[in-house]
Every structure is written in C-alpha cells, then in structure tokens.
Amino acid sequence: GAQVAASLAMGAQGAWLGTLWLAAKENHTSPALLQRLIEADSGDTLVTRAHSGKPCRVVRSAWIDAWQASDAPVPLPMPQQQALTGGDFSAMHEYDRADLIYEAAGQSVFAIDAPTTVAAQMATLIADANAALATLEAAMSD
C-alpha cells in the first residue's frame, strides 16, 4: 500500500501489481508454488532468460539455478526457449514439484506471508495506501 501511495504521490494514475495476486485463493496457485512464495523474500528472485528467452524476474528454484550454472546452455531467444521448456514448466505445476516449481515473481514477493484472497489483499492495500497518504498529507501541511 505504501508503494501504491508513493506512485500516486508522484503523479501516477495507478499502480501495476502482479506478484501479490499469486497468493490469492482465486488464483488457484498450486500448494508447492504457494509455499515457495511464502518462504521467499526479494533476494530469492532473479532476472533470467531461462523461462521464455526474454529477461524475466522469477522466484528461484533448483530448475532456475540449473539454468544459471556456469556450464548451463545459453537460453534460446523467445519463442524458442518457451517451446523448449514449456512442457517442463507445465509438468512442474501439474505435478506440484516443490523442488523445481517457479513462477514469474517480482521483488514484492517479500509481502506474501500467507494464503489470502483478492478481497483481503485489496482491503490491506487500500488501508495501507490511505495511511501512507494521510501521513504524507500531514507532513505537507506542517
């Protein structure tokens, strides 16, 4: 919420959120991925081309770490990398492979600490943004 308020204070009309929604039950995130996200912090994400061939920030796993190894092949350009690894990615999720599963995730993954719902997440975002904006307004009126 504070980051949303900061964006609004700088003149933005809105803010893009993605990673936080992975913890919402409405997203149907698999149990292994949800647990990985809950345990992760910002330092557990990295930018890699292993997912799609284009730079993409993901939450780390053994699969991603293997692609980052010095002896790993260089990821192919998009869309060839997705064609090469898409079946593996789908299987990780289908079989809920806790050791391999990963997903695109931003540094805001630190804010995921439990399963939630869209309604609960929106209520928290609005309350936190309003509190931050009220603090900013109070500071500006002093």
- pLDDT below 50 — which residues of the chain? none
Q: What is the pLDDT of residue 13?
A: 93
Most distant CA atoms of the chain, gap in Å: 59
pLDDT at 108: 87
pLDDT tens by residue, 47-87 = 999 999 999 999 999 999 999 999 999 999 999 999 999 99
Task: Please state the domain extents for the chain.
Answer: 18-116
36, 23 Cβ separation under 8 angstroms? no
Indicate the pTM of the whole model: 0.84
